[in-house]
Every structure is written in C-alpha cells, then in structure tokens.
Amino acid sequence: MKIGVVGTGYVGLVQGVILAEFGLEVICMDVIEEKINLLKQGIVPIYEPGLKELLDKNVAAGRLSFTTEMKETVEQTDVIFIAVGTPPKEDGSADLKYVIEVAQNIGKYLNGYKVVVNKSTVPVGTGQLVRETIQQVLNERNEEYSFDVVSNPEFLREGKAVGDCLKPDRVVIGYESDRAAEVMKKVYDVLYINETPFIFTDIPTAELIKYAANSFLAVKISFINEIALLAEKVGANVQEIARAMGMDGRISPKFLHAGPGFGGSCFPKDTKAIVDIGKQYGEELKVIQGAIEANEKQKHKMVEKIVERMDGISGKTIAVLGLSFKPETDDMRDAPSIDIINGLVENGAFIQTYCPQGMKEAKWRLADIAEHIHYCENEYDAVKNADATVFMTEWHQFRGMSLQKMKDLMNGDTVFDLRNIHVKDKNVRDLFNYYPLGRK
Ligand code: NAD
C-alpha cells in the first residue's frame, strides 16, 4: 500500500515519516517548493526532536520521498492524507480553503479507488464537504471512480510529535464504508496489532472528538491559571493546589501547570472554531468561551503584574527568556510571548530576548516593534544590564542557569518566573526580588 501525505508541516511531515517507519511507502507533498527542496536534501524545515534521524533512515530505505507534484501524489498512491493548515478566519471559524483546494486536486487526478483521510483539524461536516468537492470534480471530468473519505484527527504534541505518533494514546477513525475501515486498519497495522486503542466511529463524531479534546485541555489550563491569580491574591500556593487536585484520579495532574496563557497552533484556534460551530448550530459553548476570555485576561495580567511590581517600566530594559509557546518547538503561532512583549513595549520597555528555537519566527511576528527588541546570542547575553528578567517558556537550559551569574550580569534584581521554574532554588529569593506565579 502506498501513502500520499498532502501538506508537509508539523503534522504531515511527522505523519509521513512515521508511516514510512511503519514500513509503508510514503510520498510527502507540499506546495512550498523551498520546503520540499530542503527535505530532498535531508534538511528538516521545522524543529522537532528525533524527526531528522527517522527521516534519514526512511529516505535511505527508499520508503520516503518528497514532491511538489499533486498529480504524481494522487495517481501513485492508495491512501491520501490531507494534512494542510486550517487557520482561523477573522470571525474565529476554521478556514477550509486549503482543505478544499486539496480535495479539488484529488478529484482532478483520481485514477482509481482511494481512501482520502482528513488529518487536519476541521469542523463537523468537512468530511462531507471533501466528498462532495471530489465528486463534483469527477462529474466535471465525466469519470466514475469510487473513493471513500475518512476522518482521522491528529493528537500529536509539538516537541514530542515523534513519540506521540509512534505510540499514540488512541487512534480515532471516522468512517462510512467498511472497505475504508479495513484500509485504515492496514495503514495502522503496526499500531493495531500492538494493542493501541482504536475508536471506530462516524465522521462527524471523529471530527468533534478532536475539538472537544483540545478545548477540554484549554479549559483545564485556563482554570488553573485563574486559580493561580486567586492564589496570589489570597496568599495561597497554586502548585500545591494543583498537586492535591491532580491526585484525584478523576482530575489527573496533567495540564494543571499555571503559566502566562495557552498558545500554539491548536488551542487558540480550535477553541474559537468549536465556539463558532456551536453558534452555527444554536448552541452557546459558555465554558469554552470562558476559557478563551480567561486566556486573554491571563496575558494582560502578566503585563500588569510586571508594570506594577516595577513601578512602571518606561525606559527600563526587560529580558524575556523563551519565546516559543512551549519548550522543544520553534512554533510561535499565538505564543503568549507575542502579546506580553507587545504589552511591555506599549508600556515603554526595551526588550532583550533569547529563545533556543523561536527567534527566527519571532522576528517577523514582532516586526512592527522591531526597534524595541534586541535578539541575543544566548540567555546570559539577554539578561546583561537588564532591569528585570521574565522567564516566559520553560526550556531546560533556563532551568539550569546560574542565578549568581545572572545577578552579576543584570542591572536590576527583579525576576518574574511565569513558569515557576526556579521556585525551588534556595538562593533565588536572597538574590532577587523574585515573583513566581500563583504562589509566594
Ligand atoms: P502547517 O502550517 O505546519 O503545515 C501545513 C502545510 O500544508 C504547509 O506546509 C503548507 O504549505 C501546506 N499546504 C497548504 N496548502 C496546500 C496544498 N493545497 N497542497 C499541498 N500542501 C499545502 O500546519 P500543521 O501544524 O501541520 O497543522 C496541519 C493541521 O493539523 C491543522 O488543521 C492543525 O490544526 C492540525 N493539527 C496540528 C497539530 C500541531 O501540533 N501542529 C496537532 C494536531 C493537529
């Protein structure tokens, strides 16, 4: 069985590499020539730990190839994954233009029975829309090839994507025909025989599972962030609250870490998209809407806290350590650092920053305020002469920093630890005016 993966981003590339690792022959396709050229040279265009090794191995084994040709991708494969972006529109709804474009192209080149698998995160009804789009193009071509559409949402976490795809918690397959379900069992044979839980369901349910799962996690984050704000006011400790809450099997300790707000390419857009789906069907999703609003508030609160504790920041230099929305990724989409840095600059601060992977993308996302930001060589360079340091993302190398060296390099002595990574360091409170999040 030969697999085509259309869209070679964080999801499509990892998916393509892992399916090749499972022994299938895979063609990864993308419209961005530069991306495909890099991949052909063995250069991975995104930062994802462990991906390069598996990519090299499977290219060498002859199972994995890259192309910009849609015709070849459709004609030569039996199963075609759609893994293109579904970014938010102005009104929060998911923009399906890339998905539709791919469906049209599949219709254009279909040359026999194929299973079209939607891996992108898409609103309920997209499976049907993809089917209708392909069918319409086939009608225009006067061709009668049969095909099936399957929904197979992706749950990988950036930074841990390789492990997540090699050993997923579950695989969700939304299908309409038994023939397609059998094909999907074959695609995921390695996981299927290794007792990975599979959920076979209808397409709308599969589509909604993905949004429901991401929204639930976003709600959990916003929940603990609000508890952190309250804990700070009443003199309680959010970490102990989260620990005690998490020991309850019904709650679980995961996603109970207070921080500056959720970000990334999924939670912000998926929460907005499901609220929009609710609106379309006359159901107001108040809990999820609340999580979105709490997340916006959280970022404002971080700026407010920094301004207040420093008696204003106009003319002051603030070191921001970490830009990506979480460690081990270069993804800056909707990272809280963007809003928080904008807020600090609006209040008159100059920013010195360092992030192991996020700086390239940050430079264009923060281009409007470029003259207020200096991008540094490393974390120590960033704190040099700073009046305050803000730990924004919990990269390991920031955890391991010498606090004494930091103190010697800084001009001021104020530290805002928005991830509580130094909260247990014995000297941190002696050396600095130290402000952790949601605790003393
Ligand atoms: P991405 O932006 O990194 O990659 C999408 C790729 O699709 C790009 O390389 C783009 O050039 C390509 N593309 C666009 N139109 C195309 C076309 N017509 N033909 C071929 N290629 C085309 O996006 P991503 O982060 O990989 O996300 C893809 C989907 O998966 C989204 O729906 C997202 O919500 C979902 N998802 C993402 C994650 C994640 O952590 N990134 C996790 C689970 C699900």
Question: What sections of 235-350 are H helices per DSSP?
Answer: 238-246, 267-280, 286-309, 336-346
Q: Across residues 433-438, what is the average pLDDT?
A: 98
Tokens of 25: 């022959």
The torsion defined by the Cα of 18, 23, 24 and 26, in degrees rounded to 10, comes to 50
Q: Which residues line ligand 1 (CB under 6 A)?
A: 6-12, 29-32, 35, 83-86, 98, 101-102, 120-121, 154, 156, 158, 265-266
Separation of CA 382 from chain center? 26
Confidence category of residue 417, pLDDT binned at 50, 70, 90: very high
pTM: 0.95
Smallest CA-to-CA distance from 69 within 100, 120, 108, 43 is with 108
| Rounded distance between C-alpha atoms, residue 321 and residue 5, angstroms | 36
Tens digit of each residue's pLDDT (9 = 90 or more) over 350-364: 999 999 999 999 999
The closest-lying atom of ligand 1 relative to the alpha carbon of residue 94 is 32
**How much distance in Å is there from the Cα of 23 to the middle of ligand 1?**
23
- Nearest atom of ligand 1 to the alpha carbon of 265: 41
pLDDT of residue 94: 95
Q: What is the pLDDT of residue 359?
A: 98
User: Identity (one letter) of the amino acid at 28?
Assistant: C
Averaged pLDDT score across all residues of the chain: 97
Query: Which residues does the annotation mark as catalytic?
Result: 266
- Helix 336-346, helix 286-309: angle, nearest 10: 40
Share of the chain above pLDDT 90, in %: 99
Beta pairing partners, 66: 28
Indicate the residue type of 68.
T
pLDDT tens for 228-249 read 999 999 999 999 999 999 999 9
Tokens standing for 2?
């030969």
pLDDT 10s digits, 247-275: 999 999 999 999 999 999 999 999 999 99
**Ligand 1 centroid – CA 344 distance (Å):** 31
What's the order of all strands across the beta sheet hosting 317-321?
Answer: 373-375, 350-354, 317-321, 388-391, 414-417, 433-435
Cα 330 to ligand 1 centre (Å): 15
Q: Ligand 1 pocket test: which of 70, 72, 154 has the largest number of ligand atoms within 8 Å of its C-beta?
A: 154
Distance (angstroms) between ligand 1 centre and the Cα of 253 equals: 30
The yes-or-no verdict on residue 389 having pLDDT over 90 is: yes
Smallest CA separation from ligand 1 atom 3, residue: 9
Residue 194's pLDDT is: 87
